[in-house]
Amino acid sequence: MRLRKDNAALQPPMGWNSWDCFAAGVTEKQLLDNAAGLAQLKSCGWEYVVCDIQWSEPLAASEKNQGVVYRKFAPLTLDAWGRQIPAPNRFPSSADGKGFAPIADKVHAMGLKFGIHIMRGIPRQAVHERLPIFGTNATADEAARPDSICCWNGDMYGVDPASAAGQAYYDSIFQLYADWGVDFVKVDDICHEHLYVDDPYGAAEVEMIRRAIDKVGRPMCLSLSPGPAVIEKAWHLEHYANMWRITDDFWDDWKLLLDMFDRCELWQGHGKPGCWPDCDMLPLGKIGTGFGQPRKTNFTHAEQRTLMTLWCIFRSPLIMGGDLTQLDDWTRSLLTNEKILAAQQTGREPEQMERDEKHAVWTSLTQEGGRYLALFNLDNKTQTVSVSLSDLEFAVHSAEDLWGDTPATLSGSCIQAELPAHGAGMYLLQK
């Protein structure tokens, strides 16, 4: 049953996340500097500032250490009730029990919203120390499942849905997040086709989390990771979450971008107000200051156009990954093309018209009765991509070039554009 959801994410969210730049080691300063960068894009709809994984680990690295991201059995910063709190060496304003509240306040003061990442579950450290659960007589071990772990990070045990202690624990952390002023929670290790032998998707924990959020009463956008989500659970995701990853981590590699056409094909028709299949963050501009070698994105300009065009016509959330303090003009132009972003915010019924190894075509409806049309050149060389519009049952008389430099020509019921290798064009069709 669709729970309250409090009207969160009625349109696909737009924001920034710390992972692509700073991996597990982002600091308060980096977070706030990027928030300031996002504030400058606010008029285009950019809104959420999200602090990604391991903010309670004092020694978490923004760079891989001997090939691993996470320290084995690393001590986390916990409060007396086993709840993770920001490591004060990395987030100085969190000292004295203030948690993320000071940072959230500053983000709100910029007119933005604040989000955090958490791992599904309860800290193993709290479990083996048998810490009390806030507001109960239970201890953390009662809430935990010894057999429910994450395969790639050893911090947590899964929470037992059969235990009252489990729901109480989730209630206690979401109350804390609400007290801090959190608007967005990215829950990780909960949504992946291969992670759990018995349950590829953590349905029971998703339901506990949804209940905890609805009890708290503060609107919080619930985002699930890591993906790919399983299509068999689309109905459940739509009932309980606001966005969910349809892909594993996305990086600046053409193979991954090409693969996203498969995933968008699969998930078309599942986006609707409050519910957004998520293509993952945008590795654009300067990335990898921390994770991988610092670099400008490996995507070509044409590929970046393809990325933005696909995310927007499909209506994926847009969560920028690049460093907003070092934004170049080209990247800024991608993030501020309001005609393109309008398709993401307001388009209806996006649908793949055709696709083969060489090209793809997507379309959606505008609010005013027009059509968006996206043409993609998936080939490794420049080609003219052409499509018959007769199936649209819509007499096209004009095709506005929304990117501005890839014009299309209409002839009969056909539209065509010359597109560079891996490039895209996007058009607004009118009668």
Distances 83 to 35, 72, 183, 226 between C-alpha atoms, Å: 25, 19, 18, 22
Binding mask 361-380 for a second copy (x = CB under 8 A): x-------------------
Does residue 366 contact residue 349 with C-beta atoms inside 8 Å? no
Smallest separation (angstroms) from a second copy to the CB of 151: 5
Is residue 351 classed as helix, strand or coil in its secondary structure? strand
Q: Considering the complex, what minimum distance in angstroms separates the CB of residue 1 from a second copy?
A: 4
- Token pair 């065509």 in the structure block, residue: 416
**Euclidean distance between CA atoms 338 and 201, whole angstroms:** 36
- Binding pattern to a second copy, positions 159-198, x when CB under 8 A? -----------------------------------x--x-
- CB closer to a second copy out of 258 and 353: 353
From the CB of 216, what's the least distance to a second copy, in Å? 16
358 binds a second copy (CB under 8 A): no
Asked if residue 127 binds a second copy (CB under 8 A), the reply is: yes
User: Is the peptide bond preceding residue 58 cis, with omega within 30 degrees of 0?
Assistant: no
The reply to whether 391 sits near a second copy by the rule CB under 8 A is: yes
Main-chain phi, psi angles of 323, to 5 degrees: -75, 120
Residue located via tokens 């810490």:
131
DSSP 382-419: -EEEEEE-GGG-S---EEEESSSSS-EEEETTEEEEEE
* 128 touches a second copy by CB under 8 A: yes
Quote the least distance from Cβ 403 to a second copy, whole Å: 23
Closer to a second copy by Cβ: residue 39 or 144: 144
Scan for tokens 């969160």, then name that residue: 8
User: Residue 28 or 160: which CB sits closer to a second copy?
Assistant: 160
Q: Per-residue x/- mask for a second copy, residues 227 to 256, rule CB under 8 A?
A: ----xx-xx--xx-----------------
* Distance in angstroms (rounded) separating the CA atoms of residues 170 and 189: 15
- Residue 241 beta carbon to a second copy: minimum distance, rounded to whole angstroms: 14
Q: Tell me how far apart the alpha carbons of residues 277 and 401 are, in angstroms, rounded to a whole number.
A: 27
Should residue 338 be labelled a site residue for a second copy when binding is judged by CB under 8 A?
A: no
How far apart, in whole angstroms, are the C-alpha atoms of residue 243 and residue 319? 12
Given 20, 28, 52, 141, the residue binding a second copy (CB under 8 A): 141
**Gap between the Cα atoms of 349 and 49, Å rounded:** 28
Which residues, numbered 265-304, are part of the site for a second copy (CB under 8 A)?
Answer: 265-266, 268-269
Q: Which two tokens stand for residue 173?
A: 């952390």
Residues 30-89 that bind a second copy (CB under 8 A): 72-73
The residue count of the chain comes to 431
Query: Least separation, in Å, of the C-beta of 146 and a second copy?
Result: 3
Q: Per the structure block, which two tokens stand in for 129?
A: 């120390």
Interface ranges with a second copy (CB under 8 A): 1-4, 72-73, 124-125, 127-128, 141-142, 144, 146-147, 149-154, 194, 197, 231-232, 234-235, 238-239, 265-266, 268-269, 351-354, 361, 391
